[in-house]
Amino acid sequence: MTSYIIRRVLWGVLVLFLVSVIVFFSVRLLPGDPVLMFVAQQSSGSGMTEEHLEKLRIEHGLDKPVVVQFGNWIKGIVTGDLGKSIRYRTDVASLLTDFLPVTLILGLISVVISTVLGVFLGLMAAIRRSTWVDTVVTIISYIGLVIPVFMLGFILIYVFGLKLGWLPIAGYKLPWVDFGASVKYSIMPVACLAVTPLAVTARQMRSSVLEVNNMDYVRTAWSKGLRERLVVTRHILKNSLVPVITLLGISIGIIFGGSVIVESMFAIPGMGRLLVQSVFNLDYVVIQGGTLIIAAMIILVNLIVDISYGWFDPRIRYE
Amino acid sequence: MSDISTVQEPEVTVPPRISEWKRFRRIFFQRKLVTFGLVVLVILVLVAIFAPLIAPSNPYKNEMSQSLQDPSWNHLLGTDNLGRDTLSRLIYGARTALYVGFGTVLVSAVIGMILGLLAGYLGGVVNGIIMRVMDALMGFPMLVLALLLAAVLGGGLQNVVIALAIATLPGYVRLMCAETMSVKENEYILAQRAIGAKGFRTMMKHVLPNAFQPSLVLITTMLGNVILAEAGLSFIGIGIQPPGVAWGSMAADGYRSLASHPLLSFSPSIAIMIVVFAFNMVGDGLRDALDPKLRGTL
């Protein structure tokens, strides 16, 4: 097990390095000079001389060769220094500590809800195969797979925000600032973020349960006269959960991707919205740091999933 | 203990010989939803091709006097804030959706399948390099990677296609690589080696045809996913730029008048949903028809 974990961790570090290479060099291809862009946006920009611009470039290390910039960037990642935002004029690291918690809280709630509910729905659909339960779950999971995230947002905003006026349609409050308000602000965004992973989980769970159902040990459990509840919880549920664990990494990817849209829609000050705005501001330092952090978190989750997979199913360790 | 000789032999029924194509067709059209999906897609393609003939008015023409009209005989789905006919814009939006969908899938499937074939067939260092890069690409959520690339390349139809193609590449590479590795183990490949066939010839003539079926299913489902992702990009304003018409940006424009004119944001969203659903259904039908083992389990 130890050697398996070590191998996985090393692999994770290698992939993370490749990710940082991709992020760095693709951002380097951005059209336009970021410093000029920034200056053009400032109203006082007209007074800028070439010397000022040069000073800004030196301040952000943009005057050095690309290879040196890359070296500095990697060194920065290791020491936790992700550079300085051109637009906000603060450290990207501290900017991210402001924006990241919002996305993480909403994301975490969405992952928990989508996984628990998805497992439950998938299980019910499979053990009541070809009944109305199965049909309802199948319809829900199809809707979840094909609905654009923003469309669910429109429906919710229209009904609960505009017509009934029950929920706020823009903004966010952190739970430790005002818990009640935070719950109200979270309901609609979480519903939008969770719907697709919920559908994916329910589908996977259903097919996984159907497969386990055909196993000899399930038949044995039935034939020795166990009650349905015991067969389902002890024998079917436990064994069909293993493939669903793998989905955690995918779910988190979908949720981070969705947060780009959802946070823009509900004006939530999180990572997704920050990224979109940084794209418009050509604030490449923030795009760079933000995408790197998101990718790093997904790689970390996948690493944990892989390791737990090896723990649940020892055959995998020896691959 | 029963006497062995009394055990009845199971009756062997020889299935009537039918051609592969007939069998495929029978299973494919068995489910009504699959047929529905195919019909929707055929209509969509026709609408996209004949958009200028079908559209009741010019989708680009601003007419401020006609802005934010409710549905009427002149404008079946009403008009947007610039007085443009919603139905006509929906019809032209089908072009964008299909162009992005097919363009992206064409680029990523071809490149992805070649890379996967090479990685699976050659193995070793080639496999290591290709698969590690794919692992890195998979570290990004599709929309975030597309956002990064769209930011780098700028908006516009072609760049959205490139961005989404790169973001969806790893799926094809992984699938093709896994299939190639399993096909490679077959005896007929060994036989090819034994008679001294060249590696490249074996790969193209014997491994590829036996390994690409699963990719076909992936391509169909990907078409739906790509159209969804493009809608997302256009929604946040990074995809198709005006005056180009995209369902995602129509939905975003409509958001501003959601309270008074919900149809403006709902109609493009529903269009996206139907099309993505249709692609998923056709994908399901293909999967069932190509691989009967998976029926009803996925």
Written as six digits, the tokens of B133 are: 């890069």
Nearest by CB to B139, from A19, A29, A275: name it: A19
Residues of chain B positioned with their CB less than 8 A from the CB of A199: none
User: Any long-range contacts for A164-168 (C-beta under 8 Å, 24+ apart)?
Assistant: none
Q: Which of B117, B88, B108 has its CA nearest to residue B205? A: B117
B36/B41 Cα distance (integer angstroms): 9
Expressed in percent and rounded to 5, the helix, strand and coil fractions of chain B are 70, 0, 30
Residue of B nearest to A200 (CA): B298
Question: Quick one: residue A238, left, alpha or beta (phi over 0 = left, psi -120 to 50 = alpha)?
Answer: alpha
Contact A150 B258 (CB under 8 A): no
Residues sharing a CB contact under 8 Å with residue A30, sequence separation 6 or more, in sequence order: A282, A284, B151, B152
A284/A27 Cα distance (integer angstroms): 6
Contact A154 B269 (CB under 8 A): yes
**Residues in chain A with pLDDT < 70?**
29-49, 59-61, 63, 316-319
- ipTM over 0.90 threshold: no
Burial group, residue A79, by CB count within 10 angstroms (0-12, 13-18, 19+): exposed
Nearest by CB to A158, from B148, B258, B297: name it: B258
A91/A98 Cα distance (integer angstroms): 11
Contact B135 A291 (CB under 8 A): no
Q: Are the C-beta atoms of B240 and B155 separated by less than 8 Å?
A: yes
Nearest by CB to A207, from B132, B149, B298: name it: B298
pLDDT of res. A47: 56
Contact B273 A27 (CB under 8 A): no
pLDDT in tens, chain B (298 residues): 444 555 555 565 666 666 778 878 888 888 888 889 899 999 999 988 888 887 777 777 777 666 667 777 776 667 777 767 788 888 888 988 999 999 999 999 999 999 999 998 888 898 888 988 898 888 888 888 888 887 777 777 888 898 899 989 998 998 888 888 888 888 888 888 788 777 778 888 888 887 888 888 888 888 988 999 989 988 888 877 777 788 888 888 878 887 788 888 888 999 999 999 999 888 888 888 887 555 544 4
pLDDT of res. A188: 92
Please state whether the predicted TM-score (pTM) of the whole model is above 0.90.
no
Residues of chain B positioned with their CB less than 8 A from the CB of A147: 273
pLDDT of res. A111: 93
Scanning A49-78 for CB atoms below 8 A from B yields none
- Tell me the pLDDT tens digit for each residue of B64-81: 666 667 777 776 667 777
Count Cβ–Cβ pairs < 8 Å, chain A vs chain B: 136
Contact B262 A157 (CB under 8 A): no
Residues of chain B positioned with their CB less than 8 A from the CB of A254: 141
Amino acid in position B175: L
pLDDT of res. B296: 46
